[in-house]
Amino acid sequence: MFKIQYFDNISVLGITQFSKDLYTIGRQISEPDAIILRSKNIFEINLPSNLLAVGRAGVGVNNIPVKRLTSLGIPVFNAPGANSNAVKELVLAALLISSRNICQARDYIRDPNYSDDDLKQKFETSKKLFSGFELQGKTLGVVGLGSIGTNVANSALALGMKVIGFDPKITVKNTRQLLPGVEKVEKLEKILVDSDAITLHIPLTKETKYFINSSCFNLMKKNSILINFARGEVVDNKAVTKALGDNILQSYVCDFPTSELISNEKVIALPHLGASTFEAEENCAHMVVKNVKNFLENGNIQNSVNFPDAILTNSKLFRLAIANRNVPNMVGQISTILANDGYNIEDLLNQSLGTLAYTLVDLNKPLSEEIIDKIKKIDGVLSIRNVGKPLS
């Protein structure tokens, strides 16, 4: 039996994928084999020694100690693309609402003491205060062309916008999914100088903290729109406040309210609604639970932020899963130990990601604790697991 501990409000559709005959599931589970979460910060919790995997029902993992888990040979799974449509739709809404000053106009006439005559007079004399601009023909800059950024870019074309995108690490998959009308640029400066509106879709890392700052605003057009449904700290809020005051920004729409931001009438700050749709929550939970189950039951890796994808076709053999530092002769040492103890390797898969490698080995007979201990002692092995029973 595997023990699963979950935090936050994980969709029932995801949790119920853990069958009761193989899993014990709960919020208060002690010594879990896997942890499933959304926004719970686990940097400070004591990780159980038997922990095998962590899964986030979402994309960003800045609430998870990925570096520490990697050093222990523990994969961290997420759900890339599962909330893509939800965030894309909110970005499009942000573009439409901010370009037409909808929130400010609504607030202007929102007084219960107004009579119908008062309202008629008010909107006839003051509607020009909230004149906006049309998106058709304007330029949208998309910073980050992952699943969400790609979807936003493609959808903005349908609004008649010119779309330019910046992502030096764009994948082959996302490159193929971009519509031909999206222009990829090599420098962020091109986005800043040419865009009427900019939307951010980048992770929060040491390199991207305050990615958008005062030097960026100095290059932007007057009365631009900035949209941030990525992470709060990729934008310097003090620089945003100044840019709003200087009319460099007409509006800042974000999913990360702070006391500084919500006091500014040009800011539309939402309470982290980006992926808060019924469909997105179900999709995220379903994807991450599916991948955690596949890892626990079969040793396969898919959609991990710190491990390479590694999928070995299921068989009725006995499987060994090994995480190790990506150094020469590791597979050779493992193979030698197995051969010396009479094990025949029926199938093997070795994949790497940066400094880490992951190996799946299918063997002709059950694994003994003695052989596992021998492999565990190889310098560079981070974790080793007997996937166990014959796989079906």
Same-domain status, 88 and 234: yes
Q: Residue 392's pLDDT is what? A: 33
Structural domain span for residue 372: 308-392
DSSP letter for 304, please.
B
Task: Compute the chain's Rg from CA coordinates.
Answer: 25
Same-domain status, 279 and 252: no
Q: Residue 383's pLDDT is what? A: 97
Instruction: Give the HSE-up count for residue 210: Cα atoms under 13 Å, Cβ half-sphere.
Output: 8
Same-domain status, 17 and 160: no
Q: What percentage of the chain reaches a pLDDT higher than 90?
A: 86
* Positive or negative: CA dihedral 223, 229, 230, 234: positive
Q: Residue 189 belongs to a domain with what CATH number?
A: 3.40.50.720
Same-domain status, 312 and 322: yes
Confirm whether 125 is domain-assigned. Answer: no
Same-domain status, 88 and 225: yes
pLDDT at residue 349 tops 90: yes
Residue pLDDT, tens place only, 193-225: 999 999 999 999 899 999 999 999 999 999 999
Dig out the tokens for 200 from the structure.
């951010």
Same-domain status, 29 and 152: no
Average pLDDT over residues 176-182: 97
DSSP run (H or E) holding 331? helix 330-340
Q: How far apart are the C-alpha atoms of 302 and 292, rounded to whole Å?
A: 9
Confirm whether 102 is domain-assigned. Answer: no
Q: Residue 329 belongs to a domain with what CATH number?
A: 3.30.70.260
Confirm whether 107 is domain-assigned. Answer: no
Q: Residue 280's pLDDT is what? A: 94
pLDDT at residue 391 tops 50: no
Same-domain status, 165 and 204: yes
pLDDT at residue 289 tops 90: yes
Q: Residue 106's pLDDT is what? A: 87
Q: What is the largest CA-CA distance in the chain?
A: 93
Average pLDDT over residues 173-201: 97
Taking CA 392 as the corner, what is the angle to CA 289 and CA 346, rounded to the nearest 5 degrees? 110
The residue ranges of DSSP E strands in 326-355, in sequence order, are: 345-353
DSSP letter for 325, please.
E
The closest alpha carbon to 359, from 330, 308, 321, 327, belongs to 321
Q: Residue 109's pLDDT is what? A: 76
Same-domain status, 251 and 285: no
Confirm whether 70 is domain-assigned. Answer: yes
Q: Residue 226's pLDDT is what? A: 99
Q: Which residues are catalytic?
A: 231, 260, 272
The pLDDT mean for the chain works out to 94
Same-domain status, 295 and 359: no
pLDDT at residue 141 tops 60: yes
**Tally of domains in the chain:** 3
Q: How far apart are the C-alpha atoms of 254 and 256, rounded to whole Å?
A: 6
378: confidence class by pLDDT, cuts 50, 70, 90: very high
Sequence letter at residue 166: F
pLDDT at residue 7 tops 70: yes
Confirm whether 98 is domain-assigned. Answer: no
Q: Per-residue b/e over 330-351, b at no fewer than 16 CB within 10 Å?
A: bbebbbeebeeeebebeebbbb
Confirm whether 109 is domain-assigned. Answer: no
Phi, psi of 354 (to 5 degrees): 65, -125
Residue pLDDT, tens place only, 324-348: 999 999 999 999 999 999 999 999 9
Same-domain status, 187 and 207: yes
303: confidence class by pLDDT, cuts 50, 70, 90: very high
Q: How far apart are the C-alpha atoms of 164 and 168, rounded to whole Å?
A: 13
Residue 107, class by beta-carbon neighbours within 10 Å (0-12 exposed, 13-18 middle, 19+ buried)?
exposed
DSSP letter for 150, please.
H
Q: 269, 293, 326 — which closes off a domain?
A: 269
Q: Residue 129's pLDDT is what? A: 83
Q: Residue 388's pLDDT is what? A: 57
Confirm whether 40 is domain-assigned. Answer: yes
Same-domain status, 88 and 224: yes
Residue pLDDT, tens place only, 49-81: 999 999 999 988 999 999 999 999 999 999 998
Sequence letter at residue 294: N
Confirm whether 100 is domain-assigned. Answer: no
pTM: 0.81
Q: Residue 219's pLDDT is what? A: 98
Sequence letter at residue 122: K
* Positive or negative: CA dihedral 94, 95, 100, 104: positive
Same-domain status, 164 and 259: yes
Q: Residue 390's pLDDT is what? A: 37
Average pLDDT over residues 290-305: 97
